[in-house]
């Protein structure tokens, strides 16, 4: 320790300790190992490590001798104590805060809080470590971070976790979507380091996300194409629909012809042009239009056409388009009247 007044200690240049130690030590998240390691690194880089962890040999030589050294030592110790208080939660601060305390005393209190009852802590941490599953985390990075944190905590309580066990626990907690990378890691001999297995897992996750995005875009394009085809049907479907409508008209016409044959056939009396006095008179057949049989495609107007007002067929052809005269109408209804008697 230098006693010169003009010498400037590097620890005094730190204006905000949170810029160097980003972890806030709390009772709930139990990150004492990470916090302690970061704090020791920072204290060692600024030449104040002896204020929290004194060296084993030559302890007496570390004590200040002159008044100038005592003043500098007190200033540096207060600076380190301020670092400790600024990087812990309010609950821990009220627990360890004591009047006229040194940085080493505050450091030892925190160590006792987080490292006492090591066996009980180890049992709880072991249970949490063995039951950690990826399905409980939003992504692979959070899952790996949780496993690493539990491994560090077990190490702090005297139950260190080997790399092999850490990697196997990582693989056993994966979901079905990561079966491929899980098999690849499991079959590696020797097992890869934890950081390498974590990298493989995150890369697999990126690939799955891209694959899912590509599949969603393809499905969206297919759905849009299908909807467009329904709005604009193909020529083949249009031809089929037109043919179906024409076929429907022909079916109605054929059905009407058969119904008329059954209704007028077998009558006696005067014959038509085929001859008089025959048992079966052959009258010209006039198929009933479709609007009389099914009311399609015309709407239902609420009235029924009368049998004596048969209009000519709206779809005539050369085979049965015969123009009825007034005399033929009278002969036709006379035959029907005889059949009914």
Half-sphere exposure of 224 (CA within 13 A, CB side): 6
How far apart are the C-alpha atoms of 17 and 35, rounded to whole Å?
Answer: 12
Token representation of residue 287:
């198929």
Residues 315 and 249: beta-carbon distance below 8 Å: yes
pTM over 0.85: no
Q: Return the ∠ at Cα 158 (arms to 148 and 126), rounded to 5°.
A: 55
b/e map 40-55, b = 16+ CB within 10 Å: eebbeebebbbbbeee
Q: What is the pLDDT of residues 280-291, one digit of tens each?
A: 455 555 555 554
Closest CA to 151 of 34, 297, 269: 34
Token representation of residue 268:
């006696």
- What pLDDT shows up at residue 149? 87
Q: What is the pLDDT of residues 122-180, one digit of tens each?
A: 898 899 999 999 999 999 999 999 999 899 888 888 889 999 999 999 999 999 988 89
Compute φ and ψ for 25, nearest 5 degrees.
-75, 125
Length of the chain, in residues: 341
Residue 102 — very low, low, confident or very high, per pLDDT cuts 50/70/90? very high
Between 25-29, 188-192, 197-201, 204-208, the lowest mean confidence (pLDDT) is in: 25-29
Residue 34 CB contacts under 8 Å (≥ 6 apart), including other chains: 23, 149, 152
Q: What is the pLDDT of residues 182-201, one digit of tens each?
A: 999 999 889 999 999 999 99
Q: What is the pLDDT of residues 232-286, one digit of tens each?
A: 555 444 444 444 444 444 444 444 444 444 444 444 444 444 444 444 455 555 5
Q: For the chain, what is the largest distance between any 2 Cα atoms, rounded to a whole number of angstroms?
A: 156
Instruction: Report domain extents, the chain.
Output: 10-115, 118-226
Q: How far is CA 217 from CA 207, 223, 225, 229, 260, in A?
A: 16, 10, 12, 18, 61
């Amino acid at each position: 320790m230098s006693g010169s007044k003009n010498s400037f200690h590097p620890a005094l240049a730190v204006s905000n300790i949170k810029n160097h130690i980003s972890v806030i030590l709390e009772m709930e998240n139990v990150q004492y190992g990470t916090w302690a390691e970061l704090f020791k690194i920072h204290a060692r880089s600024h030449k104040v490590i002896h204020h929290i962890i004194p060296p084993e040999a030559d302890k007496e030589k570390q004590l200040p001798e002159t008044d100038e050294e005592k003043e500098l030592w007190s200033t540096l110790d207060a600076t380190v104590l301020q670092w400790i208080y600024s990087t812990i939660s309010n609950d821990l601060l009220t627990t360890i805060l004591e009047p006229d305390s040194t940085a080493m005393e505050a450091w030892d209190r925190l160590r006792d809080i987080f490292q006492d009852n090591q066996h009980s802590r180890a049992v709880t941490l072991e249970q949490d470590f063995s039951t950690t599953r990826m399905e409980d985390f939003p992504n692979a990075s959070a899952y790996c971070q949780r496993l690493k944190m539990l491994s560090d905590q077990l190490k702090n309580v005297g139950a260190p976790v080997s790399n092999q066990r850490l990697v196997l626990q990582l693989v056993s907690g994966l979901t079905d979507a990561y079966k491929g990378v899980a098999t690849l890691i499991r079959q590696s001999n020797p097992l890869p380091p934890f950081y390498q297995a974590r990298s493989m897992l995150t890369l697999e996750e990126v690939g799955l996300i891209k694959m899912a995005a590509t599949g969603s875009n393809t499905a969206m394009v297919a759905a849009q194409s299908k909807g467009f085809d329904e709005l604009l049907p193909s020529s083949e479907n249009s031809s089929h629909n037109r043919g179906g409508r024409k076929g429907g008209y022909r079916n109605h016409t054929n059905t009407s012809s058969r119904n008329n044959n059954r209704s007028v056939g077998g009558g006696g009396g005067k014959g038509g042009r085929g001859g008089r006095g025959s048992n079966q008179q052959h009258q010209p057949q006039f198929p009933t239009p479709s609007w009389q049989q099914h009311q399609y495609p015309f709407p239902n107007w609420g009235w029924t056409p009368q049998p004596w007002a048969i209009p000519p067929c709206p779809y005539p052809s050369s085979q049965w388009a015969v123009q009825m005269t007034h005399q033929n109408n009278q002969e036709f209804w006379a035959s029907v009247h005889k059949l009914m008697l």
